[in-house]
């Protein structure tokens, strides 16, 4: 990593970290976020019948990360809405995506090569948000490791962590699932990224912030573009988790197919109180994994 900063890559990272996000990158963030809102079942019908509710959902998709971080840090929830230009830009994107004549705008941004560019740019914004969020939390709580990680996480995940609330605004209620129970790739990556940036901020990770932003952005961009291009819903963390989770927690995160791991340490608990408390584990697992599959099939951000 020190080598990397010695090379011209270090300078590249530094100038990359100085590129302003507004308006081009923010625009991409808004476009991709509202695109995923439009993919939700019933969202188009909602925009026709209840434009105000639809607009509010679009704002949550665009600014959910700020709202959640403000909530955690005790700042005004509505603080970010004082950036009139951002809100107007997001509103314009919402209007164009839902109400553009002949659906031209939607068709353009859904064209895969264009969409991939926007997806890549969205990840640039996401990583920058994580870094800024952790810097901000560090300013308030110098030794608050958990505060920093939590702030970075919600800044990266955004509306996903408040999906139940966002659905409720649209009159949809799915209490049996939420982002914590079925984490998508960006949510997990934001969590791991928040841990990395917190380590960097507290000087346990001996790299410059610019290098970390640059390399984590490259990782996120390549993963997300690959996943979007292949319509895949896997996660590059699956392999790692399938090794670590059985050791730490006696089972993999939401995976039922790692039966080879169910011996020794992990298996010792599998048969204990878990079985006593859940008399129908196999049926439940089946249902849960089905729910997970459905959820994944419809979610792609």
Smallest gap from residue 117 Cβ to a second copy (A): 22
- Alpha-carbon distance of 151 to 140, in angstroms, equals 11
Instruction: Go through the chain and tell me how many residues it has.
Output: 301
User: Which positions from 61 through 100 interact with a second copy, judged by CB under 8 A?
Assistant: 70-79, 81-82, 84, 87, 99
Smallest gap from residue 211 Cβ to a second copy (A): 27
User: Which positions from 137 through 166 interact with a second copy, judged by CB under 8 A?
Assistant: 140-141, 143-147, 150-151, 164
Is 48 a residue that touches a second copy (CB under 8 A)? yes
Q: Do 250 and 270 touch, CB atoms closer than 8 A?
A: yes
> In sequence order, what DSSP letters do the residues of 165-226 get, joined into one string?
HHHHHTT---TT--TTTS--HHHHHHHHHHHHHHHHHTTSS-S-HHHHHHHHHHHHHHHHHH
Is 257 a residue that touches a second copy (CB under 8 A)? no
Is 259 a residue that touches a second copy (CB under 8 A)? no
Is 117 a residue that touches a second copy (CB under 8 A)? no
Is 283 a residue that touches a second copy (CB under 8 A)? no
Q: Which x/- pattern, by CB under 8 A, does the window 183-202 give for a second copy?
A: x-------x-----------
Segment lying near a second copy (by CB under 8 A), choices 6-14, 45-53, 118-126, 202-210: 45-53
What tokens were used for 3? 């080598």
Smallest gap from residue 212 Cβ to a second copy (A): 22
Q: Do 267 and 250 touch, CB atoms closer than 8 A?
A: yes
Smallest gap from residue 287 Cβ to a second copy (A): 11
Residue 38 makes CB contacts below 8 A (sequence gap 6+) with 44, 97, 98, 106
């Amino acid at each position: 990593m020190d080598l990397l900063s010695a090379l011209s890559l270090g300078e590249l990272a530094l100038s990359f970290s100085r590129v302003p996000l507004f308006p081009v990158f923010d625009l991409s963030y808004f476009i991709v976020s509202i695109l995923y809102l439009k993919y939700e079942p019933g969202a188009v019908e909602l925009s026709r019948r209840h434009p105000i509710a639809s607009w509010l959902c679009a704002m949550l998709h665009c600014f959910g990360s700020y709202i959640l971080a403000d909530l955690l840090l005790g700042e005004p929830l509505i603080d970010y809405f004082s950036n009139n230009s951002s809100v107007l830009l997001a509103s314009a994107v919402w209007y164009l995506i839902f109400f553009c004549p002949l659906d031209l705008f939607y068709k353009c941004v859904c064209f895969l090569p264009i969409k991939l560019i926007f997806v890549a740019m969205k990840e640039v914004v996401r990583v920058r948000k994580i870094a800024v969020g952790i810097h901000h939390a560090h300013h308030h709580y110098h030794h608050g490791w958990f505060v920093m990680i939590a702030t970075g996480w919600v800044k990266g995940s955004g509306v996903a962590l408040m999906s139940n609330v966002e659905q409720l605004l649209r009159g949809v209620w799915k209490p049996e699932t939420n982002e914590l129970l079925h984490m998508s790739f960006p949510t997990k990556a934001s969590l791991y990224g928040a841990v990395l940036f917190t380590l960097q901020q507290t000087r346990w990770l001996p790299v410059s912030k610019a290098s970390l932003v640059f390399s984590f952005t490259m990782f996120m961009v390549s993963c997300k573009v690959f996943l979007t291009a292949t319509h895949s819903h896997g996660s590059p963390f699956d392999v790692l988790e399938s090794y670590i989770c059985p050791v730490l927690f006696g089972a993999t995160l939401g995976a039922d197919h790692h039966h080879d791991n169910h011996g020794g340490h992990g298996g010792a608990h599998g048969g204990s109180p878990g079985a006593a408390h859940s008399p129908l584990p196999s049926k439940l697992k089946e249902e849960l994994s089905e729910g997970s599959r459905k959820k994944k099939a419809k979610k792609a951000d």
